[in-house]
Homo-oligomer: A and B are copies of this chain.
Amino acid sequence: MAASVSTQSLGQPLGDDQRFGLSRHVVLPGPLRLDGGGLLSPVEIGYETYGTLNADGSNAILICHALTGDQHVASPHPRTGKPGWWTRLVGEGKPIDPARHFIICSNVIGSCMGSSGPATIDPSTAEPWAMRFPVITIRDMVRAQAMLLDHLGVGQLKAVVGGSMGGMQAINWAATFPERVRACVMVASTARHSAQNIAFHEVGRQAIMADPKWRSGAYYESNDPPAAGLAVARMAAHITYLSEAGLTEKFGRRLQARPDRPDGAKSFGFDADFQVESYLRHQGLSFVDRFDANSYLYITRALDYFDLAEEHGGLLANAFRGTATRFCIVSFDTDWLYPTSESRSVVQALNAAGAAASFVELSSPYGHDAFLLEAPEMNRVIDGFLRAES
């Protein structure tokens, strides 16, 4: 095991397997027992690490990604070339720093960036799993991450950190493997999906499944995926990531500039007249180049199934009873996808369980997306929390 804990500097990842470009990739035999009752074997995991595990193995931090995120938390995305998705928090001189920490980020199972999901090959048929891939849960994602940590020789985490769906994994880590997590940071997240959350995801799933190119999920051979349906799903979801005020500030009712009309003009047609229309269309179109439609179905399903209380006898406090893990919960005041009231419920449960918990609601105009944007206050809170460990 020790041999696989290799160090790497930012931008120079070394892979167990180079199939996924710059990303590291491992095939673990499993089986992974799933909440749905099935077994997944093998378990493929795409991941990245930054920094070096120290001698006493006490500096490992696991970062968990959001719905459409990936393992490229602090290094460029191999397909889009864009910088890592959380370089504002993770990197040299940042609160999570490869000079001090051994940072691990893995693609969740169900996704499409190297970890087992509907697009990977089912060895029993030598074809992509497609919709025969088992429905998975947030806890299943966490269990797969635990298998990766075993493989990497990381026993205990200094911290598990995540925003949005990453926050759900972080809190689930603390509940499922309390002895392996010294600290848990949950940002812009919730301990369960609400009816409205489920409703928005159902719209996205129906948009994908209504696309004739979806073909009940068997579109891999055709190389002609349900891009139109997936783009609509992304557009609907994207609205929930932004605040009403943020949208107004960014776009208002401003019109798209046109070659003949620099200030824009209504077309009295169905072009993207408004800047917000053009922006949303771009969000939808650029998403389909980097994401698999079936993965979108599976991961939204995992999110909708998520209810941490249900996993612990219906009472959220039970999930944390007797825990030694320290918790840091952060919400944003304009986040209407996972509003502050959801974080407050988690904090109340932590308090009821006698857990050490700090909670802060930050102010931002940017809604749910705030956790991915420049947020100096969030950095200060997380830096202080991580350094406070005795």
Contacts and interface: CB of A to CB of B under 8 A. Distances in A.
Interface string A184-218: 00000000111110111011011101111000000
Contacts of A297: 270
A253 B203 contact: no
Contact of A232 (B199, B206, B336): B206
A247 B274 CA distance: 30
Contact of A244 (B194, B248, B266): B194
Nearest to A227: B210
Contacts of A250: 195
Given A274-B304, A297-B270, A307-B253, A232 B248 contact: no
Nearest to A309: B253
Interface stretch (A21-29, A148-156, A174-182, A275-283): A275-283
Contacts of A202: 235, 272, 274, 276-277, 280-281
A277 B193 CA distance: 13
Nearest to A208: B232
Interface string A209-239: 1111000000000000000110110011001
A280 B197 CA distance: 13
A284 B274 CA distance: 26
B277 A196 contact: no
A305 B270 CA distance: 11
A211 B212 CA distance: 8
Q: How many copies does the complex hold?
A: 2
Given A135-B268, A195-B247, A198-B276, 4 more contacts: A192-B253, A193-B253, A198-B277, A232-B232
Contacts of A134: 268
Give the size category of A's interface with B. 35 or more
Contacts of A321: none
23 contacts: A134-B268, A135-B268, A195-B251, A195-B252, A195-B253, A195-B274, A196-B244, A198-B253, A200-B239, A202-B235, A202-B272, A202-B276, A203-B239, A206-B231, A206-B281, A207-B210, A209-B270, A210-B228, A210-B231, A232-B232, A244-B336, A270-B297, A270-B301
A270 B134 CA distance: 11
A376 interface: no
Contacts of A196: 239, 242, 244, 247-248
A210 B235 contact: no
Interface of A: 35-37, 131, 134-135, 192-196, 198-200, 202-203, 205-207, 209-212, 228-229, 231-232, 235-236, 239, 242, 244, 247-248, 250-253, 266, 268-270, 272, 274, 276-277, 280-281, 284, 297, 301, 304-305, 307, 336
A138 to B, nearest CB: 13
Please give me the 5 A-B residue pairs with the lowest Cβ-Cβ distance, nearest first: A36-B268, A210-B228, A195-B247, A135-B268, A195-B251
